A and B are shown apart, each in its own frame.
Chain A
């Protein structure tokens, strides 16, 4: 079977969506030339007039996307780096998220905003940020952040088919790093489901995006020491899959939540609260969070960036402590 990278998985899915539905079109910065990460490479030539370049104006990109969705199109916007998306915050949170509520469910906004996020690429403070927590606070915006190419395939497809606004987060470090053998059409999946990727009875690690891969690497290292991890790929960050989260937390009673987003107000707090609220009697240790430190930018310098980012070694250290608790 052919190996597919995350980037190829995204491109293939966009290609299929453009081919399958006339209403689908792409818009964003430098898309016609293939995009800075090459996610739309070749698509402008294949689908003339349906891959649109926009000015460097994120508020407009999202505003146009909302408008097109109003008119029955299936727009897919790309924000070149997630760090820039906040210029469109008002459009997303004050407009897109509420449309079906404002119309009492009579109208929907079938739109997708794709954006590369996360650090680990020496991108410095404007190309490395995690932005999910701001938007996960906003009911009405679904957020998807897969880790494996197969999930990029099926969940991007599900996002495009979804009648509501979906923020689709693509971890830029994994674009070419993570490859997987996939054949044929994407598997059917739905937004809102987390997956228990590995089962062990000592502790449960929750992660998403790049951190999921770090967590799996850590789990392999820990296995050698006799520490068995359950690892959960959250996949959807809003709404969270409470059922799977609780099942996985209950399975071990010890919980480690990992994200590269900064600690305070990050999703780890929400996940910890869900577990504390509903699985208190199944807990065997205090819930532990491993996250980026509370400093504003992801640093540029290699050493400092490595110190900022959680990785498998840090996960192993935290997990060891938790397992011994």
Chain B
């Protein structure tokens, strides 16, 4: 029995390489002449590859998803007795030139390269590892748990080296002897017990800012609830007419906060050691949760923008924040911060002041609740909690409470 090799065909004149999309046969499967072996995609065309031989599929040399040059061996076919020898006239003309009978190189078995065990998939996902990039040491080129672990360990070593942290000492070897006392606590391999996640620059900055704020600024908190039934209706009406971006509650809220601050300049300020700087403009920070962590870009001079203008400006900041394309100018000189915690479903939260700003306000989820209204009647209203944390060094509860009351009044007036 001869073994023949099937190679990557040239699908189009200028095509130099092709990608194996999917194998339609498995090693050991019987293959008839011209029966499809696999799907191939090139920059020009996708096609099924007919077998130039009759026999059994021997080995798959190119795993699914891999791109190889034209003429690169794709698989071997073990020809059954009586089948045409390679190069015989019965072969389709277009493949004859590129097929040759030969034994595959030893150790070139990649038949299991794309098959991943549960633990390999889980580790790869958790650590963001591209499995296709790992040369598997298992049978048939399978990527094993240890292969993935080696990549993770290597990353940890690199991260530790970058931080100047010496690598963790290996656990001492078990003493010689037949019986080893059972350890009291689980001593699973350390990588099984936890995963080291190196801190991204964003994460590090958030951590430093939060720690500094709680360390330096004694913070107090209060909350009011606002009846935003009118705002809900208003937004529903305007949302239909609004085009380009989705109109959320946030622009209304940002606008209301900015205008309320006009009457409360003591909250639109930054703490600078021995002085408090009150700002004439409201540069409104908008807290945005991104995949990389929390960022707080600023809408400068928020009072000058209409609700529609705020909606577009915030939308721009949000999309650039998610894309990681905020510029330094976008995040500087905020004077007051708004956090839309209601987007997470929260109905009450206790934010940390965005130091050196002195106050931060959250808008919580709008919920329909029965409330007591005028005339001791009970009505279903759209209610929203508004919470404020402030730096107690800079102002006291009276001013903060007055600000919240004014904010509530303005919110309830929207309709």
Contacts and interface: CB of A to CB of B under 8 A. Distances in A.
A251 B138 contact: no
B179 A282 contact: no
Interface string A243-265: 00001001111100000000000
B118 interface: yes
A216 B138 contact: no
A282 B117 CA distance: 8
A251 B189 contact: yes
A144 B182 CA distance: 17
Nearest to A244: B182
A280 interface: yes
A247 B179 CA distance: 19
Contacts of B192: 250-251
Interface in B332-382: none
B188 interface: yes
Contacts of A193: 182
A202 to B, nearest CB: 7
A15 interface: no
Chain A interface mostly helix, strand, loop or mixed?
A: mixed
A321 to B, nearest CB: 8
B398 interface: no
A147 to B, nearest CB: 9
B118 A283 contact: yes
Given A284-B120, A285-B117, A325 B142 contact: yes
B249 to A, nearest CB: 40
Contact of A283 (B119, B142, B182): B119
Contact of A195 (B122, B138, B174, B182): B182
Contacts of B179: 148, 150-151, 180, 197
A196 B186 CA distance: 10
Contacts of A216: 178
A284 B119 CA distance: 6
B146 A324 contact: no
Interface in A269-319: 280-285
Given A201-B189, A324-B139, A325-B139, A284 B182 contact: no
Contact of A197 (B120, B180, B188, B189): B180
Contact of A284 (B144, B174, B189): B144
A193 B119 CA distance: 26
A253 to B, nearest CB: 4
B56 interface: no
B303 interface: no
Report the contact-size class of chain A (Cβ under 8 Å from the partner): 20 to 34
Contacts of A325: 138-139, 142, 144
A198 B173 CA distance: 10
Contacts of A280: 118
B386 to A, nearest CB: 43
A283 B122 CA distance: 10
Interface string A183-203: 000000000010111110110
Contacts of A324: 138-139
Nearest to A196: B182
Contacts of B186: 247
Given A251-B189, A324-B139, A281 B118 contact: yes
Contacts of B270: none
B145 interface: yes
B146 A201 contact: yes
A197 B180 CA distance: 6
Interface string B163-195: 000000000001000111011001011001000
A34 B99 CA distance: 79
A194 B122 CA distance: 27
Nearest to A284: B145
A199 B119 CA distance: 19
A253 B146 CA distance: 9
Interface in B268-293: none
A166 B287 CA distance: 64
Contacts of A284: 117-120, 144-145
Nearest to B180: A197
A283 B117 contact: yes
Contacts of B183: 196
Interface in A52-85: none
B188 A250 contact: yes
Interface in B120-173: 120-122, 138-139, 142, 144-146
Contacts of B178: 148, 180, 216
A216 B120 CA distance: 28
A68 B338 CA distance: 78
B170 to A, nearest CB: 12
Q: Which of B142, B178, B192 has the most CB of A within 10 A?
A: B178
Contacts of A254: 145
Interface in A234-249: 247
A41 B144 CA distance: 54
A247 B188 contact: yes
A96 B291 CA distance: 60
A251 B192 CA distance: 7
Contacts of B180: 195-198
B96 to A, nearest CB: 38
Nearest to B117: A284
A193 to B, nearest CB: 7
23 contacts: A148-B178, A148-B179, A151-B179, A196-B182, A196-B183, A197-B179, A197-B180, A201-B146, A216-B178, A247-B188, A250-B188, A251-B189, A251-B192, A252-B145, A281-B119, A281-B121, A282-B119, A283-B117, A283-B118, A284-B117, A324-B139, A325-B139, A325-B144
Given A216-B178, A254-B145, A325-B144, 13 more contacts: A148-B179, A193-B182, A195-B182, A198-B174, A250-B188, A253-B117, A253-B145, A280-B118, A282-B119, A284-B118, A284-B120, A284-B145, A325-B138
Interface of B: 117-122, 138-139, 142, 144-146, 174, 178-180, 182-183, 186, 188-189, 192
4 residue pairs, one from A and one from B, having the closest CB atoms? A284-B145, A253-B145, A253-B119, A284-B117
